[in-house]
Structure 1
Amino acid sequence: MPGTSRGLARLGATELVAAYERGELSPVEVTAAVTAVIEAREPVLNALWATDLDAAMDAARASEARWRAGRPLGPIDGVPVTVKENLARAGVPMQSGCAGVSPTVPQRDSPVVERITEAGGLILGSTVMPDWGMLSSGVSSLHGITRSPWDPALTTGGSSSGAGAAAAAGYGPLHVGTDIGGSIRLPGTWLGLTTLKPSAGRVPLDAPYLGRAAGPMARSARDAALLLAVISRPDVRDWTSLPPETIDFALQDCHVSGLRVGLQLDAGCGLTLDPEVRAAVERAAEVFAAGGARVEPVAPFIDEDMLTSLDLFWRVRSWVDYEALAPDARQRVLPFVARWCQAGQHVSGPEVMRCYSRILSLQQATVAATEPYDLVLSPVAPMAAFPAEWPMPFGDRDLGMAHIGFTAPYNMSGQPAATTNCGFTPDGRTIGVQISGRRFNDVGVLRATQWFEEHREPALAPVWPIVQPHQVEERAGRG
């Protein structure tokens, strides 16, 4: 068993739980190791908000006592976890990453947080996000810039930016993000992570919204499944959640033989796919074909008008939030987000309804096009990671949501969609493949993801940039 901070911080949640059960490791040791990594890297990465590492250590001691007595609270007892800042924690101010928003202080934990603490998870803190979650980067008027653990010059992706950075950097093995158009999966591709945007209603929320989901961000499919099993337990506060059911989240004997798998390489809208991203996803499809899957091309099923309508619908929604702020508070909103949402200022009611109708058409088209397939493989985004200072993959230009043509359809259709690493650019940036499935088949998607992780070329498995404090100092000295 690894004995260094770096070694313990690299362990997955399933490995930690097995080691706790055997008495080979203590949650106290693990929390101390993760804390050392956080303290070393957080000044540069800027992933966390509202942390209390002393409280986490107290919780680790209580977990240690439960394991010694053979009475763990649940399947993640003693495992370090973070949650995105828009998932309420009682007493922790919430501003949705926006300096112009007056913080609200929730009186009760969100369903996700309650499920984690009931299962013994050690919540280290909340992770940051950009303003209102409406950017695909780690640029926030409240928090500043969140940076990639792989290379601080690069973006984390967003809007689950802090969760992504925390996962890749070794701030514990389990993290929860949220997603309305790609906010879990975009950090997945740009940080090499295994993530899942679950089926609509799979994970209860205290503020459900069209397309919104909360889901796991981890470094393996097994860990993502373990966390999903915890956070998908029901909660009456979410009137859109799925009914309680018994689901086997164990990813055993995974295979893809005999599956009908679609391969989509053209979103039908948005930005042109980079050749290096296309090639990596094509190679991933070849792995599925070699495993016995029947891989077939999938034609584009949404168009530019659908994607533009979704963007305009969101602009109007954010304009309502922006307009409600006092004039001085508006000045504190990130200028890019302020400009973006102001385009929704004069949109008429009939046009909003037309946008909504096009969103429903997008939903219908996605379900119809993907229903024949057990899985659909596609890129996550058209490009690899971009500079950390850029709010969007296209810098300060306003191209709407031109980069989410592969991800947003599955938010609207409510289908599960995962990511895992399938390649690297020549300069070492990660490239993820999106693996989507029919609605409610979250386990099937995770099983396919686990199978791919076991069968991809070993060189495609990320060697996580999890470093010890002295390594950070050495890097700074060389810089």
Structure 2
Amino acid sequence: MSAALHALGAAELGPLYRRGALSPLEVARAVIAHVERCEPALQATWAFDPDGALAMARASEARFAAGQPLSALDGVPVTLKENIATRGVPLPLGTAATTLVPAADDAPPAARLREAGAVFIAKTTMPDYGMLSSGLSSFHGARGVLTRNPWDLSKNPGGSSAGAAAAAAAGYGPLHLGTDIGGSIRLPAGWCGIVGFKPSNGRVPIQPPYAGRCAGPMTRTVADAALAMATLSRPDWRDATSLPPADIDWTALDVDLRGLRIGLLLDAGWGLPVTPETRAAVQAAARRFEAAGAVVEPLAPFTTRAMADGINLFWRVRSWLDISALPAERQTLVLPFIRDWVAAAAGFSTAQLFHGYSQMAALRDAAVTACQPFDFVLSPVSPVPAFPADWAMPTNDPLRAMEHIGFTLPCNMSEQPALSIDCGHTASGLPIGLQIIGRRHDDLGVLRLARAWERLRDPPRAWPAI
């Protein structure tokens, strides 16, 4: 085998296990050893559990020996973002203000992976309450942990699925599970050069559900993300917002690009300006699709500053209420950036709150209307590349906290599937993410276009060595 065992994809492992050419125990040991080598520098995990992972791998090995694997993910190493409950493990939610209580049961995505026979390696880090596009966290910071970007350890992996993105880029096994409410899968995926898929809202059952919130795979390849979706999209009654079960062949990733109408969005309408390197990389990707037969047309900005500010206000009030409900001594443990961000919410009126809430629907309608003429839309994931590791946001300013999510936020509000995939690097070697947006419920279409991009682009750079 040319690749190191820890770097093998999920789509590669199943056939090797079935032929007896490789065992889940061998792979689990290789991943554990790799994590132990890299973690002193990367600091992407929490609740790292080698003994538990080896026990799950032994059980998988026995199933393969008996010819009775549970699924295509049986024996595949996975990590799960720390806000996805796994039974017996507390949920810190990235903040030192949390009281650590072991979870009583698996959340739906974790339950599906456990039922499929996946091997749980670790939980991955996130910022306080998932409310930052950063790896900065009062809980992990108290442990001396600052999650870093594998491409440049002085840079931030992004967030809120910070550890998941860093772990995927560093090769902590093939499959990592994140969550996304405004870009929390796609932004760190873009900054770490991996595939990050935010499915249509409700496609992957989640607990607790919330407006715009999704769980999805973070991987090195589109094939692995698609393989994960076959398991993650199975139904769970606990999510009353989930979509009905659908018969989707997640492995059917071929697509004919000829005649597809693709919109090209290069201006979000608000927020940070797109850097010249990012713009050039996304435009170059669009030209590749055009050369392959797609029809690429410019898409004008469709979101406004009023929409962004309204949603920001609503989120600040929600977080202020949550934090204010804590005992006073625990409130002081929340990351200062978050406390500064929510502080003004105490003075907002009910009219302001209602107006802010209404902007989610306004943004949803604007996004659906703008994207409807196209089969897909291409855009940057972030207007800027990765930022310093100790910053809370690309602006590092609580009064300008949302300036980088103009391209990602609309898809959460509109419930459209969207995916981040690498489309180049800056002159300093930092990844640039291309966002592929599909119509609502066309999750497979987005994965197909991403797979087509993997074939169209130049061979990607070697993954970073930690």
TM bracket (short chain): over 0.9
Matching residue within 7, 10, 13 for 2:10: 13
The residue aligned with 1:82 is 79
- In structure 2, what is the equivalent of residue 147 of structure 1? 148
> Distance between the aligned counterparts of 1:150 and 1:355, measured in 2?
37
How far is 1:55 from its partner? Answer: 1.2
Shift of 1:15: 0.8
* 1:45-56 pair list within 5 angstroms: 45-56=42-53
Q: Which amino acid aligns with 2:235?
A: P
Conservation of the 8 A alpha-carbon contact between 2:272 and 2:403: yes
Contact 2:205 2:235 in 1 (8 A): yes
- Displacement of 1:46 after TM fit? 1.2
- Counterpart in the other structure of 1:477: none
Q: How far did residue 69 of structure 1 move?
A: 1.8
Correspondence 1:386 to 2:401? no
Counterpart contact for 2:49–2:121, Cα < 8 Å: yes
**Is 2:39 the counterpart of 1:38?**
no
Question: Is this contact kept in 2: 1:10–1:466, CA < 8 A?
Answer: no
Corresponding residue for residue 402 of structure 2 = 401
Q: How far did residue 253 of structure 1 move?
A: 2.7
For residues 23-47 of structure 1, what are the alpha-carbon distances to aligned partners after superposition, in whole Å with 9 as ceiling and x for unaligned? 1111111111111110011122111
Identify which range, 353-362 or 109-118, moves more after superposition.
353-362
In 2, the alpha carbon distance for the partners of 1:115 and 1:150 equals 31
In structure 2, what is the equivalent of residue 110 of structure 1?
A: 107
- Counting only pairs closer than 5 Å after superposition, residues 361-376 of structure 1 correspond to structure 2 as 361-376=362-377
Output the CA distance in 2 between the equivalents of 1:173 and 1:30: 11
Amino acid at match of 2:15: A
Q: 1:15 and 1:153 mapped to 2: Cα distance?
A: 33
Deviation digits for residues 314-349 of structure 1, max 9, x if unmatched?
101100111011121111111001100112122111
Q: How does 1:16-415 map to 2 (within 5 A)?
A: 16-144=13-141, 145-396=146-397, 398-415=399-416
2:400 aligned counterpart, secondary structure: coil
Corresponding letter in the other structure for 2:462: V
Q: Is the 8 A contact 1:128 1:163 kept in 2?
A: yes
Counterparts in 2 of 1:214 and 1:252: CA distance versus 1, 3 Å: closer
Runs of 4 or more consecutive aligned structure 1 residues displaced over 6 Å after TM superposition: none
| 1:353 alignment partner AA | F
Asked if 1:465 corresponds to 2:453, the answer is no
State the Cα distance separating 1:397 from its structure 2 match. Answer: 5.3
Contact 1:255/1:291, CA 8 A, preserved across alignment: no
Equivalent-residue separation in structure 2 for 1:347 and 1:126 (angstroms): 36
Report Cα offsets for 1:141-199 as digits up to 9, x if no partner: 00021101122111101000011111111111001100000000011110001111000
Q: Kindly state the Cα deviation for residue 462 of structure 1 after the two structures are TM-superposed.
A: 3.6
Counterpart code for 1:242: L
- Cα distance, 1:50 vs structure 2: 1.3
CA deviations over 1:178-231 (Å, ceiling 9, x no partner) = 000000001111000111100010000120000000001000100000111111
CA contact (8 A) 2:81 2:123 kept: yes
Contact preservation (8 Å) 1:222, 1:251: no
SS of 1:82 mapped into structure 2: strand
Take 1:466 and 1:229, find their aligned partners in 2: how far apart are those partners? Answer: 31
Displacement after TM superposition at 1:252 (Å): 3.8
Q: Counterpart of 2:36 in 1: which secondary structure?
A: helix
Deviates more, 1:232-241 or 1:101-110: 101-110
- Read off the aligned partner of 2:172 and give its amino acid letter: Y
Once residues 304 and 322 of structure 1 are traced to their aligned partners in structure 2, the CA distance between those partners, rounded to angstroms, is 27
Contact 1:251 1:446 in 2 (8 A): no
- What amino acid is the match of 1:260? R
Could you tell me how far apart the structure 2 residues matched to 1:160 and 1:433 are? 18
Long gaps (5+) in structure 2: none
**2:433 is matched by which residue type in structure 1?**
G
Contact residue 151 and residue 429 of structure 2 kept, 8 A: no
Kept after mapping to 1: 8 A contact 2:253/2:444: no
Distance 1:136 1:286, change over 3 A: same
Deviation string for 1:354-401 (max 9, x for gaps)? Answer: 111122111100000001111000000110011111110012453130
- State the Cα distance separating 1:466 from its structure 2 match: 4.5
1:85 Cα deviation (Å)? 0.7
SS of the counterpart of 1:203? coil
The alignment partner of 2:413 has SS state of helix
Question: How many residue pairs are counted as aligned between the two chains?
Answer: 462
Distance 2:36 2:47 in 1: 14
| Secondary structure of residue in 2 paired with 1:142 | helix
What does residue 476 of structure 1 align with?
A: none
Q: Which amino acid aligns with 2:47?
A: A
- Separation in structure 2 between the aligned mates of residue 28 and residue 465 of structure 1, nearest angstrom: 25
Letter in 2 for 1:125: A
Distance 1:53 1:423 in 2: 35
Distance in 2, Cα, partners of 1:222 & 1:251? 10
SS at match of 1:272: coil
Shift of 1:103: 2.6
Alignment gaps of 5+ in structure 1: 468-479
- Bigger mean CA offset, 9-18 vs 289-298: 9-18
How far apart, in 2, do the equivalents of 1:65 and 1:391 lie?
Answer: 45
- SS of 2:239's equivalent in the other structure is coil
Q: 1:418 is matched with which residue?
A: 419
Q: Is the 8 A contact 1:208 1:240 kept in 2?
A: yes
| Distance in 1 of aligned mates of 2:315 and 2:101 | 22
Between the aligned residues of both structures, percent identity stands at 54
